[in-house]
Copies of this chain bind each other. A is one copy, B any other.
Amino acid sequence: MTAYTEKQYVEEMIATRRKIHQTPEEGWTEFQTTWLVAERLRALGLKVLLGTQVINPKAVMGRDPKLVEAAIKRALAAGVPQSFIDETGGYTGAVAVLETGRPGPVTAFRSDMDCVLVTESDSPDHLPTACGFSSKRPGFMHACGHDGHTSVALEVCRWLVDHKDQLKGTIKVLFQPAEEGVRGAGAMAASGVVDDVDTLIGAHVGTFAKLGTIGLCESGFLASTKIDVHFHGRPSHAGADPEKGRSALMAACAAAMMMQGIPRSGEGTTRIAVGRLNAGEGRNVTPVHADMQLEVRGETGEINQYMVKNVENIVEGVKRAYEVEAEIVKAGEATTLPSCPEVLDLIESVAKTVPGVESIERFNKPSGSEDCTLLIERVVQHGGRGAYFLFGCNHHGHHRADFEIQDETSLPMAFNMFKGLALRLNGI
């Protein structure tokens, strides 16, 4: 197998990204994407870990069995073999393992594969529309760039195989499921697949970084817990017997009011958002069901826990006050970014060598959450280290119908970053 030319790597990577873009799959349902990944990796001769090798079912959060079931049917219909579905055990995600055969450190690169629930723009101005590779699934779209992450990771795998004789130690490339809602990394970490890793590096396209910028994430990720609350009341006729009912809707509204009012913390930034509430069956029936989706965040894990604890207290409180039942389900979790300055410095020094990188910036404004932090935390707990960087693109905003990346310029930058990192960390 002759090594690809630089141009071949890039062309294949762009093509892969555009292919994946057309079949977006939401978290825990990425069976077609996982199949595409596994097929490619196996074609390269790489060892591929799947299912419970990379996902600890006990640590899985926010996975809806009904959606999984439907996704498997869809995958089978699209040509994914039943034998592969069996291999996954129903859990998406994959890890490629390159054993160089030479002693050396264990390095991990992490990507993610899921889409968001947005209907893609059909404007002719929108690049995927113009170039004919927009989403074929209405209501689903790779509007956060994970299609790009996956294709970069796949291309890095080809490059690693092509250049295996220049490398030592082990390199693992992670294809994590369900990053949206920070649901997947916890279960991947809990599988132990990164426990032997010395250095884990994750990356994201866009966000704060413009095209040409490599962003070094010093901090700024908020610890976060995603929580579902299912309230269950008792029906009654709202006109004849209001006193016989127990309104799950009113319990949920009272809880939302109290949650939004959880006191700020003098210890640092907090966040609370009740993002969804679906309650009630009919206008004139005391509502029996109310399903709430919320999230809390904190500048540290402790502050985040302070918020979680208050949410729990409030739910217990409204159960008592409204005589309803309520079940709290943890639907996602992320932590803050452990600080490993020497890995950031390494990334910086590699970035200086990558063509097209015009600026290198450090970011630390508290903002969103990212469950790669749980993988880095796991690595750090086992004596390793990690970091996270951004490779820029010019976009209109993530999770929007008109989200775009300049895949022909932006993705090669990421590809070159990982190549450089591999050589620096595992070069012979």
Contact = CB atoms under 8 A, between A and B. Distances in A.
Nearest to A270: B264
A265 to B, nearest CB: 4
Nearest to A242: B263
A275 B284 contact: yes
B238 A295 contact: yes
Contacts of A243: 263-267, 306
A80 interface: no
Interface string A218-256: 000010101000000000011111111101011011101
A128 interface: no
A253 B238 contact: no
A425 interface: no
B321 A367 contact: no
A130 interface: no
Contacts of A252: 253, 277
A274 B256 contact: no
A264 B242 contact: yes
A290 B320 CA distance: 21
A153 to B, nearest CB: 25
Question: Chain A: interface residue count, which band?
Answer: 35 or more
A280 B117 CA distance: 13
> How many chain copies does the complex carry?
4
B239 A224 contact: yes
A272 interface: yes
A257 interface: yes
Contacts of A222: 239
A385 to B, nearest CB: 25
A317 interface: yes
B242 A266 contact: yes
Contacts of A142: none
Given A242-B263, A273-B284, 18 more contacts: A237-B367, A239-B366, A239-B367, A239-B369, A240-B266, A240-B367, A242-B264, A247-B263, A250-B257, A252-B277, A253-B257, A257-B258, A264-B269, A274-B280, A277-B280, A278-B279, A283-B294, A317-B320
Interface of A: 117, 181, 222, 224, 226, 237-245, 247, 249-250, 252-254, 256-258, 260-261, 263-267, 269-287, 290, 293-295, 297, 306, 313-314, 316-323, 331, 366-369, 399
